[in-house]
Structure 1
Amino acid sequence: MFSIRVPRCEPPEHTDLPTSEPSFQPSGDRLGVLVIDDDEQVLAAMRSVLGVWGHRVFCATSPDEAVVMAISHAPDIDLLISDYRLGGNVTAVDAIRAVHACLPRSIPTYILTGDTSPQRIQEASELGFPILHKPIDALALRSILET
């Protein structure tokens, strides 16, 4: 067992330190974002952050769920973010193809991965979609929403 002792003090009246995190204000353009990830915690975090920023968020844990979302909300989906590995032998390739087939128009699509091996990055790059690395930085996420 261990303990930490911290002296009591009054908080500073103000600080001039810049913040590197974006403000969590709704953006001007409200997007419909479909997020596919087999990790419920990742989905919950993405739903929370994107929702606070004012976007509509549709979450799916598999390509099958993503297809249901795409069919049900096709006009509302403006952007797709898919984890590269979706459990078993399922990858973003399967999910992206299935979702794109259900949508009436082409949408920006990103692959999210925690795998940093050169082989996996090469495989994902060959799909032609930009790759985002986990854990995703809030500034990076915000920038793809504003492009």
Structure 2
Amino acid sequence: MATHTVRIPRLALRLVFGLALGLSLASGTEVVAARMACDDPSNLCLEEASGAKWEAGKTVAAKEKKKRSDKTTGSLSLTVEGGRGSLFFNGRYAGTAPLSGISVPAGKSDVQVRDGATVLSQGVLTVPKGGALTITVKHP
């Protein structure tokens, strides 16, 4: 009878650990799926972007620069995963990551994120009027 009382707790422990492991793997799968959804080849992921658009490797044409509005602005936050980086907005230094809530002009703008001389990501970012954008750049 002593063997039965020892086996029951072991079985219960196996069930509990199996359930805990299964739950942790399931939540890890959701995290992996979320990261895979944000796996852009340009290393830049745009979140909370109602009306915003990212075009990797492009630059703003002179006509588009005239359309850009300094009167209406948006808000931009930047994080760099796995390293460091500096944000250049329309060719001007805007700050070093992490940045939170910096004011940027609405419309199309040239964006470049660099770590020293290494360009992590560059392209054209369309900022909606009054929009709040969150950018995550993955350091290679």
Q: Which has more strand, going by share of residues? A: 2
TM-score tier, shorter chain, comes to under 0.3
Scaled by the length of structure 2, what TM-score is found?
Answer: 0.27
Q: Which has more helix, going by share of residues? A: 1
Return the index of the structure with the highest Cα Rg. 2
Structure with higher RCO (Cα < 8 A, 6+ apart): 2
Scaled by the length of structure 1, what TM-score is found?
Answer: 0.26
